[in-house]
Amino acid sequence: MSKTYRVVAWSTGNVGRHAIAGIDARPDLELVGVWVSNPDKVGKDAGELAGLDRTLGVAATNDVDAIFALKPDVIVHTAMADNRLFEALGDMQRILRAGINVVSSGPVFLQYPWGVVDDGMITPTVEAATEGGVSIFVNGVDPGFANDALPLVLSGVCEQIDEVRVAEVLNYATYNQGMVLFDIMGFGRPIDDVPMILQPGVMTMAWGSVVRQLAAGLEVELDGDLVEWYERVPAPETFDVDAGTIEEGTAAALHFELRGMKDGKAVIVLEHVTRLRDDLAPEWPQPAGQGCYRVILTGEPTYTVDMQLMGRDGDHNTGGLKATAMRLVNAIPAVVEGAPGLLTALDLPPVYGKGLVV
């Protein structure tokens, strides 16, 4: 008989609500608590917060001590980290020191931080996990499964690899997260403004873990720093997306690459093609279906694999959010049973959707 793991969901936002549904779906996981930052959510049932059609019998709280008193095996941490980096790290370190394992959607550089950020951004979290005798695994779909597990598995049927390219090709019009779209990615802002994501070094901090981890997994010695590149396209007229209005002439499509170089040639490339309307920048890479994550291994032979996403609501962005949540939830048994410290996709055994066939 398989072990049952006691789980707390930490936040109920765009990813957290799907994590709750995923925890409930697995027979070897028991949802014992939900932590929320919004006082209006305190006391509400987890099923309601997850948008389910039933209650789960677990009420949300903003009392951290009460969460720790539940003695969970693991916390699924999906709180926003992009705009509160040090607060998120502090929360996770406190959880780890309390002897509770963590699977988290951020900060994303912790997917594989070595060679991406200074040791001072890594060591406190590793020490907290070691002190607590537990593990932490940071992942999702991108950075995450689509550009670590998927390309590494595909490399196992190659004879020679000239370039590894992992790409997200998506329309973000239905991604209802204004802070990410407008403040971080710069959509709807003047085209000559340089948003947070395109400030020098930010792209490397956000996705350098992808390139560095693939290099480590494939035993590639890269040249020095990673190369950042981008281009943008303005809106031809004013139009609306779920998160707000995009005025004519403001940024409406973004194409960027983060390139790992070897002997002056790009050998590992992280690429994003993000549109707010399908007709924008038709010369840029086009998605398979409504949107996809794409892996291209150029060499002998050359492979192209498109992973299309679609939620039951007909929205590919829902599929992406669920993929992020379920990458964490389904990894719980492997992470809890793993060695104390910071784990990466290179450390985990294959993670399967055990018990999910209905």
CA distance 68 to 75: 10
CA distance 351 to 339: 16
- The reported pLDDT for the residue numbered 82 is 73
> What parts of the chain have a pLDDT lower than 50?
1
Which residues does 9 contact at the CB level (< 8 Å), separation at least 6? 16, 19, 20, 23, 31, 33, 34, 35, 46, 75, 76, 78
- Strand-strand pairing, 239-241 and 135-138: unpaired
- The reported pLDDT for the residue numbered 16 is 95
Q: For domain 5-139+331-343, give the CATH superfamily.
A: NAD(P)-binding Rossmann-like Domain (3.40.50.720)
- pLDDT (tens digit per residue) in 67-94: 999 999 999 999 988 778 899 999 999 9
- The reported pLDDT for the residue numbered 358 is 84
Confirm whether pTM is higher than 0.85: yes
Could you state, in order of their start, the residue ranges of all structural domains in the chain?
Answer: 5-139+331-343, 145-313
CA distance 319 to 313: 9
- The reported pLDDT for the residue numbered 55 is 96
Degrees, nearest 5: CA angle 290-9-75: 110
- The reported pLDDT for the residue numbered 317 is 85
- The reported pLDDT for the residue numbered 263 is 96
- pLDDT (tens digit per residue) in 20-62: 999 999 999 999 999 999 999 999 999 999 999 999 999 999 9
DSSP letters, 266-318, are EEEEEEEEEESSTTS-TTS---STT-EEEEEEEEES-EEEEEE---TTS-HHH
- The reported pLDDT for the residue numbered 249 is 98
Q: Select from 149, 269, 154 the least CA-distant residue to 220.
A: 269
- The reported pLDDT for the residue numbered 355 is 87
